[in-house]
Amino acid sequence: MVQEQQLETVDINVNMGPQHPSTHGVFRMVLTIDGERVVDVEPHIGYMHRGAEKLSENMDYRACIGFQDRTDYLAQFLNEQAYCMAVEKLLELEVPERTEYIRVILCELNRITSHFMFLGAFGIDLGYFGTSFTYGFRERERIQDIFEEVTGERMMYGYFRPGGLAWDVPDNFVQMIRAVLPHTQQGLNDLDVLMTQNEIVAARTKGIGAMSAEDSVNWGLSGPMLRAAGIDWDLRKDKPYSIYDRFDYDIPVGSHGDVFDRYLVRLEEARQSIRIVEQALDQLPDGPIMPEKMPRRLRGPEAEVYAAVEGPRGEYGIYIVSKGGDKPYRLKIRPPSFCNLSALRDMTVGNYVADAVAILGSIDIVLCDVDR
Amino acid sequence: MPDEESQPDEASAEDQKSAETPAAKPSEKAPTNASAESSADAPANASAAEQPEEEEADPRPRPPAGGIADLLAEALPDVKFEAYQGMTDVIVEVERDDVMKIMPVAKDDPRLDLKFLRCLFGVDHEDEGLEVVYQLLSLEKGHDVVIKTRLPKDDAHVASVTSVWKAANWHERETRDMFGIMFDDHPHLVPLLLPEDMTDHFPLRKDNPLAEIEEWQGDELPEEGFGGAAKRR
């Protein structure tokens, strides 16, 4: 005789991180799970908080550049670009033509390296254990070599300056990049073949972590996260800065807002970046790299400025409150990873624990950008 | 390399949003220039006869006519606010108590359509109190605005806007961490970036200076060894 018995289920808490291979840095989330289903997520951040904003208040305008490399450490040029644009607006500096082109070339290459990093790590999150990672890193390394050649650094470039650049690029700059771009294209194709049509990837990503267009806007998502949800918003097109209005490129847009669409948008975005780099190389003019009348000390007026770039993770913005003097009175960074990560709970609840990893991977966070 | 041959994409990129942006640009520029003139004039005219009139005018440049500030005034006839053209954005200063009157309208009114909260942060103005800054953006219309409100330091609280934009959730928690500004009706106002027990110390306030960097005291080093070697002779 089978005795009818009420079985009780208990929600349990699972702590993921801070040291965990799939959290992409030092990040902890406490998952409340009911069996295999996630019923609640509490993200804990701040492990990497170094007070970049406070430190910048005590540094002069040139010295602050160093902190920009250290926020989103996969998109250093783009951060520097945003910061330099803010200071240039504040001081009303005119950036020379050649500088703009070099900046755009480096920024777009940086976007490609960042997306290679995403594509490689994303495969690991889904269980590829290395294939996508080696594919991604093989090609990323070639571009990384160019950055090293140009700036002398592999990670914390500190190459842009308010008004211009630290020094001119080497003579073989154009040839170097032209030699690398076919490899980049090939690398993206390899990853495309490896992952896009793969059944396992499709099963792990399609319909997972979907967020509607309306919610995406409400949560303040930006970059590929927002575009994957079907919203055609890219600062390069919609609020053109620098010289992005001179190039011919497309903005890939998804439709479902799920993990798979985010992956596709990033893959296509990297391809479009190659197009921009090619056009910029064709047009690269000669000339000075710093404005003619460059003040020795940078002193801002009493004013507030905001400048933002479309980074690989979304809108990276710098808001400077100046009260005169050679230091920013307040420097606020709008970190795209922080804003995108804040929606994690809404995306994850209701999915399996294993999907939480895929969703977190698809946000493509950089924890140093989250915590600053 | 030919350098001026490419303005190819301008036409194809001109959907509604980008069509509006260039149109907005010159109008944004105009008042800035006007202000530069007037502010340059002001000291020169200090002794002139028109001085009282000059003084009456707000020294800050007026926002462009027909721009976002006028739209706000249109949508919110019964809320008083001050608007001026900042260096890059139109800045609107509102009273603390009006925040929850303005924000839902700013988001939902079809004329404003400010559905995207770019960022929310605090600024410490020392004697002039704290400030909360809301950066709003409309993805449909492509316009943006900065809304600010002042809070006294000894009573630093303001209504939370998490019910309007979910994006405000973490921004408000961070602002509480850094400035000690309390957000009323926030669903979960606990420390985010700082340790959980650090609730009485607000690092980004100006009365929290950075600790001075301690210099390496050479003479306190032992005679022998790494640092002492140079000193010995």
ipTM: 0.85
Q: What is the pLDDT of residue B214?
A: 56
Q: What is the arithmetic mean of pLDDT over A262-291?
A: 91
Please, which pLDDT band fits residue A128 given cuts at 50, 70 and 90? Answer: confident
Distance in angstroms (rounded) separating the CA atoms of residues A59 and A162: 14
Distance in angstroms (rounded) separating the CA atoms of residues A105 and A304: 29
- Nearest by CB to residue A339, choosing from B9, B133, B167, is B167
- Nearest by CB to residue B193, choosing from A46, A218, A346, is A46
Q: For chain A, what percent of residues have pLDDT higher than 90?
A: 30
Among the listed residues A325, A272, A368, A333, the one whose alpha carbon sits nearest the alpha carbon of residue A59? A325
Q: What is the pLDDT of residue B223?
A: 53
Q: What is the arithmetic mean of pLDDT over B93-108?
A: 86
- Chain B residues 107-126 with CB within 8 Å of chain A: 115-119, 121, 123-124
Strands B90-94 and B144-151: parallel
DSSP strands (E only) in A63-210:
160-161, 164-165
Q: Which residues contact B2 (CB under 8 A, 6 or more apart)?
A: A282, A283
Q: Which residues contact A282 (CB under 8 A, 6 or more apart)?
A: B1, B2
Identify the closest residue of chain A to B142 by CA–CA distance.
A238
- Nearest by CB to residue A304, choosing from B91, B124, B193, is B91
Residues in chain A: 372
Query: Token pair of A62, please?
Result: 């040139």
Q: What is the pLDDT of residue B212?
A: 60
C-alpha B105: how far from chain center: 20
Distance in angstroms (rounded) separating the CA atoms of residues B37 and B113: 33
Q: CATH homologous superfamily of domain B16-41+57-156?
A: NADH:ubiquinone oxidoreductase Nqo5 subunit (3.30.460.80)
Q: To which residue do tokens 């609280």 refer?
A: B157
- Chain A residues 196-235 with CB within 8 Å of chain B: 215, 217-220, 231-233
Instruction: Judge residue A59's burial from the number of C-beta atoms within 10 Å of its C-beta, 0-12 exposed, 13-18 middle, 19 or more buried.
Output: middle
Distance in angstroms (rounded) separating the CA atoms of residues A299 and B41: 22
Map out the domains of chain B as residue ranges.
16-41+57-156
Q: What is the pLDDT of residue A5?
A: 74
Distance in angstroms (rounded) separating the CA atoms of residues A327 and B87: 17
Query: Token pair of A105, please?
Result: 């070339």
Orientation of helix A259-283 relative to helix A353-363, angle to 10°: 20
Chain B partners within 8 Å of A52 (Cβ): none
Instruction: Judge residue A131's burial from the number of C-beta atoms within 10 Å of its C-beta, 0-12 exposed, 13-18 middle, 19 or more buried.
Output: middle
Chain B partners within 8 Å of A51 (Cβ): 203
Check CB contact under 8 Å for B146 and A306. Answer: yes
Check CB contact under 8 Å for B8 and A306. Answer: no
Q: What is the pLDDT of residue A50?
A: 86
**pLDDT tens sequence across B172-214:** 999 988 888 989 888 888 888 888 887 777 888 888 777 665 5
Give the predicted TM-score (pTM) of the model.
0.81
**pLDDT tens sequence across B48-92:** 434 444 444 557 787 777 778 778 778 777 888 888 888 888 888
Instruction: Judge residue A297's burial from the number of C-beta atoms within 10 Å of its C-beta, 0-12 exposed, 13-18 middle, 19 or more buried.
Output: exposed
Residue B181 to chain A, least CA–CA distance (Å): 16
C-alpha neighbours within 13 Å on the C-beta side of residue A365: 31
Alpha carbon of B45 to those of B33, B55, B60: distances in Å?
A: 18, 10, 17
Query: Token pair of B30, please?
Result: 């105009």
Q: What is the pLDDT of residue B5?
A: 43
Which domains, from first to last, does chain A contain? 12-371 (1.10.645.10)
φ, ψ of residue A44 to 5 degrees: the values are -120, 120
Residue A246 to chain B, least CA–CA distance (Å): 5
Residue A101 to chain B, least CA–CA distance (Å): 11
The overall average pLDDT reported for chain A is 88
Give me the sign of the Cα torsion angle A325, A326, A331, A333. Answer: positive
Give me the sign of the Cα torsion angle A79, B166, B204, B206. Answer: positive
Distance in angstroms (rounded) separating the CA atoms of residues A304 and A86: 9
C-alpha A344: how far from chain center: 17
Q: Is B228 helix (H, G, I), strand (E, B) or coil?
A: coil
> Does position A101 have pLDDT exceeding 90, yes or no?
yes
Check CB contact under 8 Å for A321 and B10. Answer: no
- Chain B residues 40-99 with CB within 8 Å of chain A: 86-89, 91
Optimal mutation site among A236, A244, A306, interface B, most CBs of chain B within 10 A: A306
Identify the closest residue of chain B to A372 by CA–CA distance.
B193
- Chain A residues 263-322 with CB within 8 Å of chain B: 279, 282-285, 303-308, 315, 317, 319, 321
